[in-house]
Amino acid sequence: MAPKIPSDVALNPATIQFLDHSPKKLFINGEWVNATHSETFPTLNPADGQELTRVALASPQDVDLAVQAARQAFEKGAWGKMNGEERARLLWKVADLIDSHADELAELETLDNGKPLRISRHGDIPFAARHFRYYAGLAGKIEGSTIPVSLSDQFVYTLREPMGVVGLIIPWNFPLLMAAWKLAPALACGNTTLLKPAEETPLTALRLGELFQEAGFPPGVVNILTGPGIPTGAAIVAHMDVDKVAFTGSTEVGREIMKGAAQSNLKRVSLELGGKSPNVIFADANLSKATRGALWAVFSTAGQECVAGTRLFIERAVYDQVLDGLVAEAQKIRVGSGFTPKVHIGPLVSERQLERVSAFIANGRAAGAEIVTGGVRLGGELTSGYFLPPTIFTHQDDGLQIVQEEIFGPVVAATAFDEWDELIQRANDTRYGLAAGVWTQDIRKAHQFNHAIQAGTVWVNSYGLFDSAAPFGGYRESGFGREMGKEAIELYTQVKTVWIGI
């Protein structure tokens, strides 16, 4: 079954071949297998609502089989005997394979997620390859330390060892990239893994499993289980032989994962959760750059980013000027299928997500916030897809739902501010703390903001930049633990202290 795509788009033959093999199977112990109960579910193209292919739904029994395979590989297989250099070679090979299959992976990502093809091809896919290379470089450099202690007849040192079997549960906004963010450090540290992609976007994770096979990873080291949060994700969290779970997604689901971990074996948990990030434009900023930056801080990926700068604070002296600029630029943004040339943003990922975002928009309007552009589902030739235009609210009430709750769609709430103390209080008036942005040409003011704001990442005169070497994570209800950088090694290792009498 070939996917339904615009007639002027020619898919890579490898992409069509991948989709034609339906239903897609689970990857357990180095083999592609049907789900135990033969259950499947569809994955849809959000640009038109059409089914792309069917995918196996992993039951708790399937999860148990994968955990057994991962435990065997960790404790008795070849993987546990490999040193860091050997693991690095395999990770580097995965990166090379991602590069060589980049066109195909980008097409699958755009079909399944909806984002523009050029962003998949020139953003997400290359970044995923770089991520594997970064952690390949660290695989042989995971080390402990020697510790001088008060007892002169003792030599004390630490070892940093892998956690064991690790469950990795990822979201749908950056499917392949989120898989890389978690798989690369977990494997570099010597763990074995269960990867559960989001049920909305399983395709690139499954194709990645084939690349792991081709790279020569031993059976059981990487297992890929497709299915929804219940039962598949919940079974991973509850399993008594899973040592750690790393999750990226909503704060609400993060709470359930912590409960499940506590009620099973007190497994370690790291969480990268929701955000409601403040983005601040001071009057002394380069306003042209700041306006464009604020635009893409929220409308990139159709607003489906946890770091999206959805609370926009503009100094009153330039409020009207910046707002007019935002509206004018937002109305130029081209919305459409990710395969349409020169399109800027694609659809929301699912009908459920479209309904959720639309409900937020209706609530904001009813609560008295003013929509100055957007807010209505797009029709015409886009009617069958899940498309919303860039939507800008203005408001004077920070207590509104659209100001306090994560929307995860192309919606920004803009407001004016007057004084520094007022700004900081309002910017920090959120249960989240994932990211923030500030636009100013006064470096002293920027540093003051960096210290005052309660967020895990702050961008100054830019927004949404990432690198494999730079740690990323949140404060407050945005989670704990840091993805990327050397800090991610701490997520997937545990420390052993050794005392030697001399």
Using DSSP, state whether 424 is helix, strand or coil.
Answer: helix
Q: Is the pLDDT of residue 8 over 90?
A: no
What average pLDDT score do residues 405-426 get?
98
Give residues with Cβ within 8 angstroms of 353, minimum separation 6: 304, 386, 408, 409
CATH code at position 74? 3.40.605.10
Whether residue 7 is predicted with pLDDT greater than 70 in this model: the reply is no
Q: Higher pLDDT residue, 6 or 47?
A: 47
pLDDT digits (tens, 9 = 90+) for 168-224: 999 999 999 999 999 999 999 999 999 999 999 999 999 999 999 999 999 999 999
> Do 194 and 100 belong together in one domain?
yes
- Find out whether the peptide bond into 228 is cis, omega within 30 degrees of 0: no
pLDDT for 28: 98
Q: With 0-12 CB in 10 A as exposed, 13-18 as middle and 19+ as buried, what is 115? A: buried
Q: Residue with structure tokens 């999750």? A: 247
User: Of the candidates 315, 404, 317, 306, which has an alpha carbon nearest to the alpha carbon of residue 363?
Assistant: 404
pLDDT of residue 141: 96
Q: Which of 208, 278, 185, 101 is nearest to 491 (CA)?
A: 185
Is 18 part of a structural domain of the chain?
Answer: no
Same-domain check for residues 250 and 366: no
Structure tokens at 61: 């029994």
CB-based contact 73:219 (threshold 8 Å):
yes
Task: Inform me whether the pLDDT recorded for 1 exceeds 60.
Answer: no
Would you state the pLDDT for residue 3? 52
Whether residues 230 and 344 fall in one domain: no
Q: Six-digit token pair at 358?
A: 């639309």
Q: How far apart are CA 45 and CA 165, in angstroms?
A: 33
Regarding whether 288 and 184 lie in a shared domain, the answer is: no
**DSSP-H helix ranges across 76-150:** 84-100, 102-113, 117-119, 125-138
pLDDT tens digits, 26-62 = 999 999 999 999 999 999 999 999 999 999 999 999 9
- Is the per-residue pLDDT at 350 higher than 80? yes
Q: Same domain for 164 and 99?
A: yes
Contact 55, 206 (CB under 8 A): yes
Q: Mark whether 122 and 190 lie in a shared domain.
A: yes
Check which CATH number belongs to the domain holding 356 and give it: 3.40.309.10
**Beta bridge partner(s), residue 41:** 55
345 contacts: CB under 8 Å, gap ≥ 6: 115, 116, 299, 300, 301, 302, 333, 334, 335, 390, 410
Cβ atoms of 477 and 273 within 8 Å: the answer is: yes
| pLDDT at position 9 | 75
β-pairing, 493-501 vs 154-162, is antiparallel
Total domains present in the chain? 2
Residue 2 located in a structural domain:
no
b/e sequence 183-220, b meaning 16+ C-beta within 10 Å:
bbbbbbbbbbbbbbbbbbbbbbbbbbbebbbebebbbb
- Look at the alpha carbons of 169, 173, 179, 180 in this order and tell me if their dihedral is positive or negative: negative
pLDDT band of residue 4 (cuts 50, 70, 90) is: low
Q: Looking at the domain assignment, is residue 414 inside a domain?
A: yes
State yes or no: pLDDT of 237 exceeds 60.
yes
Residues 64 and 204 in one domain: yes
**pLDDT tens, residue by residue, 74-133:** 999 999 999 999 999 999 999 999 999 999 999 999 999 999 999 999 999 999 999 999
Mean pLDDT over each residue of the chain, to the nearest integer: 96
Give the CA count within 13 Å in the CB-facing half-sphere of 116.
Answer: 18
Q: Which domain holds residue 106?
A: 25-44+51-273+479-498
Tell me whether residue 9 is in a domain.
no
pLDDT given for residue 55 in this prediction:
98
Average pLDDT over every residue of 350-360:
97
C-beta separation of 209 from 52 below 8 A: no
The answer to whether 394 and 415 have CB atoms below 8 angstroms apart is yes
Q: How far apart are CA 76 and CA 83, in angstroms?
A: 15
Peptide bond into 231 cis (omega under 30): yes
pLDDT at residue 367 tops 90: yes
What residues are annotated to the active site? 272, 306
Query: Sorting pLDDT into bands at 50, 70 and 90, what band is 2?
Result: low
Mean pLDDT of 379-408: 97
Take residue 5 and report the two structure tokens written for it: 């795509």
Across residues 273-293, what is the average pLDDT?
98
The answer as to whether 13 is a domain residue is: no
Domain identity same for 259 and 242: yes
pLDDT tier at 330, thresholds 50, 70, 90: very high
- pLDDT of 6: 52
Same structural domain for residues 283 and 232? no
494, part of any domain = yes
Secondary structure string (H, E, C) spanning 37-59? CCCEEEEEECCCCEEEEEEECCC
Q: Decide: helix, strand or coil at residue 417.
A: strand
Task: Give the model's pLDDT for residue 10.
Answer: 84
